[in-house]
Structure 1
């Protein structure tokens, strides 16, 4: 039977519950355990797919096409594993499921209540996520005391007494504030947070103390006594030079001993040698490269979380620091790419929705193409690559995407539904959005062209698999014109154009998929790794 580790948070949000959960999972996996990960989000949205990147940060896409919380991305990057839609659920999904069952008569006329029906559905989903694993690490979003989180707290409390559960362990992540004027660390917020947990019926067995400063032994002893945990179960989580150093910090504090003892896991000795070597290359690399990152959500860089982490992964494997030069595409429209990208070794144009900043991205692409600078365009970045080439090389001045101009005479990019109308829906696994439109989500195969940058990046693989999240596609009607003019299609999927390159350019690649979703610390994505390597050669 599966054993469960529950990670809760107190005092305030954004303390690093996701990194804590991923770090514990990583250490257990490297100890030979089969580890599952689950993120529970108390918000009422069914999923983050319709939420603004400025509101929620990045929407992560799983292999099977689920739009999930960005913490699932952290889990995959840390544990080098692909998780599925069962690794994330929300309040919205729970209530929708219960209401649908009630409407279908599934409860045989019972009065539907939070207890037992809502809580029962939560417990069922947690157990389903734990199937096939030795241990399931469950991160509960929000903070203790949030009204929307109470049913989830009740669910994990009940699981302590469930005969189908082999064991439970409760980890509480909490803030230790430092009052500068008094020169003191304060434990009272943690004590109150733990008291609130106890009121619910949960007694934490480990405290992860989030602090900017190192905690004195006397303070840790006080914390252990006031929170009723063993002193060796008070683990410091200080600010780290890299999030990937957190597992090593936890290991140095022997975090696994109290967990192993409580869950009867035996001796746990994780092999973290390769991990430690990569972290050292992140913190103290030999080389350096500067990448011009052209985007439109720069006020909240969490919107590009997977991509920035993917660049770090590649840098670690190339023993180089990847410095990101953040460039607002709207600013390029005003000041020009020469001013903002002159000091960059390469140019990356990221994905996004909507027409804000699009012309700035097109100017950045032209700058990289004309000046023979290494270039990587992702999703919208690839689509605009076609638009730029059509305008400035083919001479189609009105070329555009119908996302930005529905009536343009030369639609280089069109809706996926138009492709489906012509080619049959059976070719693709698509998802209809309640807001209208059709999204291509999840993993798809891509056939690479012999001799291409793409195939070389993927070590000669003829078929590769990458993830998608978009509703617009490259229009194949212009393929012949583009290829005659030097832009070659080097990747295809079920008749769709997946990647393009330019003949007379040293390194230029546009990809319709999101390679960042499959990049991990120990196995960086091949196309991003090749891009960073090409950038490094320029530097």
Structure 2
């Protein structure tokens, strides 16, 4: 019997995070089985999911748990979406484990970080909408066919420290979305089945009858991953 695709929402539920109430409203319309995993509950078993979404709510109870989820998605080719905190932590995970910047940090965890990769934005984006421009040949752009820009909803105070942007560009992780001042607002891995981090929050502009196109694209990738898993021959002893 074919099982439903499985999606992990990684984050710590809080009434203070507007996105969390939206997930309660939207999840029944995703068409997949969804488990909400507190950051401290993330283990290597997260690799059993067909999709991983690290949701807003940073700083997380367990930064290590959030980073484990992201690393697992990146290295095991599991579709990944990270919004707000999930964007910030994707930058941290990639900087530490791929670029070798082992002390890359978010100042929310350590105000005196040696390498403050994630810092307060020059202008807070809490409750704001702002233009988003994207690279024409990126996966992000494919979500918005025929367009060069759009307007997105934000609820964030922290983002990439401009001092480390060039170092970030030295690897495969690509900045694929930016604001009117060219500040990074989305990243992706071009050679991954689906790996996108966005500082904007597509869940906030979604309704049960009008799911944001980025979420729809992510869920499509989750379904593809589930189909591949179902077709995979069982190992001896399974």
Asked if TM exceeds 0.5, the reply is yes
Given the alignment, which residue of 128, 146, 153 partners 1:467?
A: 153
Q: Which residue of 1 aligns with 2:195?
A: 508
Tell me how far apart the structure 1 counterparts of residues 146 and 3 of structure 2 sit (CA, whole Å). Answer: 27
Given the alignment, which residue of 36, 61, 72 partners 1:367?
A: 72
Q: Deviations over 1:484-532 (max 9, x none)?
A: 2101000000222110001321110000011111112332101001000
Matched, 1:305 2:21: yes
Q: Which residue of 1 aligns with 2:95?
A: 390
Matched, 1:330 2:35: no
Q: Which residue of 2 aligns with 1:450?
A: 136
Q: CA deviation at 1:308?
A: 4.3
Superposition RMSD in Å? 2.3
Matched, 1:492 2:208: no
Tell me how far apart the structure 2 counterparts of residues 343 and 353 of structure 1 sit (CA, whole Å). Answer: 24
Given the alignment, which residue of 397, 409, 419 partners 2:114?
A: 409
Given the alignment, which residue of 48, 51, 76 partners 1:346?
A: 51
Q: Of Structure 1 and Structure 2, which has the larger fraction of its residues in helix?
A: 1
**1:87-98 alignment, distance < 5 Å:** none
Distance 1:455 1:289, change over 3 A: same
Q: CA deviation at 1:306?
A: 1.2
Distance 1:308 1:504, change over 3 A: farther
Q: Which residue of 1 aligns with 2:212?
A: 525
Higher relative contact order, structure no. (Cα contacts within 8 Å, ≥ 6 residues apart): 2
Q: Deviations over 1:406-445 (max 9, x none)?
A: 11121111111xxx3xxxxxxxxx5xxxxxxx55432111
Larger Rg belongs to: 1
Q: Secondary structure at the match of 2:4?
A: strand
Distance 1:471 1:388, change over 3 A: same
Distance 1:367 1:403, change over 3 A: same
Q: CA deviation at 1:303?
A: 6.4
Distance 1:385 1:365, change over 3 A: same
Moved >6 Å (runs of 4+): 298-303
Q: TM-score, normalised by structure 2?
A: 0.86
Distance 1:357 1:467, change over 3 A: same
Listed as ranges, the gaps of 5+ residues in structure 2 are 227-238
Tell me how far apart the structure 2 counterparts of residues 464 and 310 of structure 1 sit (CA, whole Å). Answer: 22
Q: Which residue of 2 aligns with 1:89?
A: none
**Conservation of the 8 A alpha-carbon contact between 1:467 and 1:517:** yes
Tell me how far apart the structure 2 counterparts of residues 301 and 469 of structure 1 sit (CA, whole Å). Answer: 9
Q: CA deviation at 1:309?
A: 3.3
Number of residue pairs aligned between Structure 1 and Structure 2: 224
Q: Deviations over 1:117-136 (max 9, x none)?
A: xxxxxxxxxxxxxxxxxxxx
**Conservation of the 8 A alpha-carbon contact between 1:448 and 1:455:** yes
**Conservation of the 8 A alpha-carbon contact between 2:5 and 2:222:** yes
Q: Which residue of 2 aligns with 1:28?
A: none
Q: CA deviation at 1:471?
A: 1.1
Tell me how far apart the structure 2 counterparts of residues 451 and 402 of structure 1 sit (CA, whole Å). Answer: 33
Q: CA deviation at 1:466?
A: 1.0
Q: Secondary structure at the match of 2:5?
A: strand
Q: CA deviation at 1:477?
A: 2.3
Q: Which residue of 2 aligns with 1:399?
A: 104
**1:24-63 alignment, distance < 5 Å:** none
Tell me how far apart the structure 1 counterparts of residues 220 and 106 of structure 2 sit (CA, whole Å). Answer: 31
Listed as ranges, the gaps of 5+ residues in structure 1 are 1-285, 316-320, 421-429, 431-437
**Conservation of the 8 A alpha-carbon contact between 2:17 and 2:56:** no
